Structure 1
């Protein structure tokens, strides 16, 4: 998943497009129809990623989980790449580092998603809610 996020970042989310992405994000946020369209695009992309993983022999459930976690990392990375200063909780107040490439931001976001999910998904660590 990390390689896919980096490849997409190199192709579509170059540093020189950051300002355009930031403005586009603001336009989408202000328009309900565009928000709906953006959500549908995300669903189609997720379905394509899941299908691609399945075609590579990844089991169905693993494909679905990897896609969902990848999509979450993508969303976090995209938001951070559009913001110039994002609080990552490490005291620096800077989640992107001015000039960081999307792939770097996405790799950090994916690592954070994995770390956040690990305690929740660890078998026997916490009972499941009923």
Structure 2
């Protein structure tokens, strides 16, 4: 499965370190993990080991992201869907995604002003 480019595990009842399990799939470009009932802090560094990842869907999970991360400016991530993830703030790594074209953040608990850093590298 190391040549796998598209993985959709959405709407299942999976448990454990799912992102850790897929980090060895180096050719993965599309990862769909919608509605898995995840309830955790996700290590952003796992995402950036997937150098070819262009689409990431984590919607309908109760998640937050680590605040410390490696350089993400080489990431190819262009589509990030975080609908209904119970987020209370903008994940900081978003400001470093230079290829980001689509950001989906509806139905979260984010309040206040959009931080300036979110516009750092994005188009």
TM-score by length of 1: 0.24
Give the number of the structure whose residues are more often helix, by fraction. 1
Give the number of the structure whose residues are more often strand, by fraction. 2
Larger radius of gyration between Structure 1 and Structure 2 = 1
TM-score by length of 2: 0.25
Greater relative contact order (CA < 8 Å, ≥ 6 in sequence): 1
